[in-house]
Amino acid sequence: MKASRWMSRERWARLAAVAAGASVVLTATAASADESAYCKKVRARASSDAALLFAPTIQAQGIKFPNNGTIDSGVTTGAGYQFRAALSFSPLDIYKGIRVKRVGEADCQQHEDVVSAREILSNAADYGRLPALRSQASFIDAKRSEIETIAAKSEERVAAHVASIRDSAEVRGRVSVLYRAREQSAGDAHRIEARGVEEYRGSLSALVAAAEADTMKLEREASHVRKISAWDVRVTGGVIPQDAPIDYFGVVQVGFNFGAFAQGAAESRYLSARADELAKARYELRDELTRFRAQIKSANEQARRELDIVERQRAMLISDRSKLELSEGLSAAQPLGLIALDEMLLESQRIYLTTLIAELTKLENDHG
């Protein structure tokens, strides 16, 4: 009998070890090299909560029967003292553990999408400026040889006494303005890039919609887990290690809390209110997107007005250049050089504004 009792205890120990190992497997979450700290955090917490739901509970019971000389023949039978060992688990808890891990995954995805959308909303104006600044700097870089040629010829005319030092200083001033415009454009572009902003070619509206969908998915997953708590399903099996014979017992328990009816109605109201909040609250992404579009529209209109001014100035310069080109002699060379430099500056501004308008128009017309 002692050997039989020992084998029984050994089987229970093995069963407990297997159950604990299964719990570890179920709660394990694959790590990713590019996983964010937030996702690591929520997945670890979900695994922590799920571990206690997946794993069985080992129970030890000590029973003292009445000392009135009779044998208790109720639910528990026996006399004197009795020791029992049991293993208890809940199929419903295992299901709940699976859903808890799904809540962790939904929380991770929702957080990543919301953070991405907010980052793009905060930097979206720079997404438009960045290609415009790059285009302006590239244009002036491409004209560097022509700029240097105009400056050199101006110095030659001064040396030949056909132009004054004042004329040469005027040319150098124009050259300086062009190069400063180039450095300012390149510097602004580098500062935008340093903040981690690159050209955005996605759909901001689609990203906001995805963030909202993921938020509601998280809310529904969490609501489902809360509603499971109204039920209790538990299976318990154990052994009574008495001398002869060793006996076993089992209990199946099902419970239901009637508060589930009120809870279900309240959870439905919560989900409806959360969806309404996402659609209308000023601090949520959709309202931020609406205000952002208004700002982009205003910036686009301003850029178009500035472009109109630049175009008129270019037209006047082209007209002046045409008149001077009809003149003969060295006297026209100096003003033609100045006009050429002014045209380059205006052309760089025109390239910047046309590129900016094109980018802002994309953002303004981004409706998903």
| Domain membership flag for residue 50 | no
**294-350 pLDDT per residue, tens:** 999 999 999 999 999 999 999 999 888 888 877 655 567 788 888 999 999 999 999
The DSSP element (H or E) to which 214 belongs, if any, is: helix 204-228
pLDDT at site 186: 95
pLDDT at site 159: 84
Number of domains in the chain: 1
| Domain membership flag for residue 261 | yes
pLDDT at site 180: 96
| Domain membership flag for residue 68 | no
pLDDT at site 310: 95
| Domain membership flag for residue 249 | no
For residue 145, the enclosing domain spans 90-231+254-364
pLDDT at site 320: 85
Rounded to 5 degrees, what angle do the CA atoms 147, 148, 150 make? Answer: 65
The DSSP element (H or E) to which 104 belongs, if any, is: helix 91-142
* Sign of the CA dihedral with 175 first, then 180, 183, and 189 last: negative
According to DSSP, the residues that pair with 58 across neighbouring strands are 87
Three-state SS at 310: helix
DSSP E strands: which ranges in the chain? 57-64, 72-73, 77-78, 81-89, 231-240, 247-256
| Domain membership flag for residue 61 | no
| Domain membership flag for residue 111 | yes
Report whether 353 contacts 135 (CB < 8 A): no
pLDDT at site 255: 94
| Domain membership flag for residue 62 | no
| Domain membership flag for residue 47 | no
What are the residue ranges in the chain where pLDDT is below 70? Answer: 1-34, 68-80, 199-201, 242-244, 327-331, 367-368
**219-257 pLDDT per residue, tens:** 999 999 999 999 999 999 888 776 667 778 888 999 999
Three-state SS at 136: helix
Q: Name the pTM for this structure.
A: 0.72
Report whether 94 contacts 53 (CB < 8 A): yes
